[in-house]
Chains A and B, each alone.
Chain A
Amino acid sequence: MSKRVGMEVAIAAAEAAALCNIDVVAAYPITPNTHVAEHLADIVADGRIDTEFITVESEHSALSAVLGAAGTGARVFTATSSQGLLYMQEIIPIASAMRLPVVMIIANRAISGPLNIWNDHSDIMLQRDTGWISLFAENGQEVVDMLIQAFKIAEHRDVMLPVNVNMDGFQLTHMVEPIEIPDQAEVDSFLPAYKPYATLHPDRPVTMGAFAMPEIFNEVMKVKNTTLVNAKKIILEVWKEWESLFGRRYEPVTAYKTEGAEVLLLTMGSMGETAEMAIDELRQEGMAAGLLKMKLWRPFPFEELREASRGARVLVVADRAVSFGGPGGPLFAEVRSALYGEPKRPVITDYIIGLGGRDVMIEDFKKIVKEAAGMDHVPAECAYDIYGVRGS
Chain B
Amino acid sequence: MTEKKWPETWQEVSPGCMVFTPGSAQEYHTGSWRLGRKPVWDKSKCIKCGVCYIFCPEGCISADEYGYFTGDLTYCKGCGICPHECPTGAVIMVDEEG
Contacts and interface: CB of A to CB of B under 8 A. Distances in A.
Contacts of B24: 207
B98 interface: no
Contacts of B7: 216, 219
Contact of B17 (A210, A215, A222): A210
A198 B18 CA distance: 9
Interface string B15-43: 11111101010000000000000000000
A218 B13 CA distance: 11
B4 A206 contact: no
A98 B14 CA distance: 10
B18 A219 contact: no
A352 interface: no
Contacts of B10: 218-220, 222-223, 226
Given A216-B13, A222-B10, A208 B4 contact: no
Measured as residues with beta carbon below 8 angstroms from the partner, the interface class of chain B is 10 to 19
Contacts of A215: 4, 6
A160 B18 CA distance: 13
Contact of B19 (A97, A206, A226): A206
Interface in A176-228: 197-198, 205-210, 212-213, 215-216, 218-220, 222-223, 226
Nearest to B24: A207
Nearest to B20: A206
A291 interface: no
B13 A100 contact: no
Contact of B15 (A197, A207, A213): A197
A99 interface: yes
Given A213-B4, A216-B7, A219-B7, A208 B18 contact: yes
B13 A99 contact: no
Contacts of B4: 213, 215
Nearest to A211: B25
Interface string A73-101: 00000000000000000000000011110
Interface residues of A, number: 23
Contacts of A218: 10
B9 interface: yes
Given A213-B4, A215-B6, A216-B7, A198 B20 contact: yes
B15 A160 contact: yes
Contacts of B18: 99, 197-198, 206-208, 210
Contacts of B6: 213, 215-216, 219
A226 B13 CA distance: 12
A292 to B, nearest CB: 34
A202 to B, nearest CB: 10
B20 A219 contact: no
Contacts of B19: 206-207, 210
Contacts of A223: 10, 13, 15
A48 to B, nearest CB: 33
Interface in B44-95: none
A216 B6 CA distance: 7
A97 to B, nearest CB: 7
A219 B9 contact: yes
B25 to A, nearest CB: 8
A197 B20 CA distance: 12
Nearest to A207: B19
| Residue of B7, B10, B22 with most chain A CB atoms under a 10 A cut-off | B10
Interface in A95-132: 97-100
B16 A99 contact: yes
A213 B19 CA distance: 14
Given A219-B7, A219-B10, A222-B10, A212 B17 contact: yes
Given A215-B6, A216-B6, A222-B10, A99 B22 contact: no
A216 B5 CA distance: 10
A43 B90 CA distance: 64
B22 A205 contact: yes
11 contacts: A98-B16, A98-B17, A205-B20, A216-B6, A216-B7, A216-B13, A216-B17, A218-B10, A219-B6, A223-B10, A223-B15
Given A100-B16, A198-B18, A207-B18, 6 more contacts: A198-B15, A205-B22, A206-B18, A206-B20, A209-B16, A210-B17
Interface of B: 4, 6-7, 9-10, 13, 15-20, 22, 24
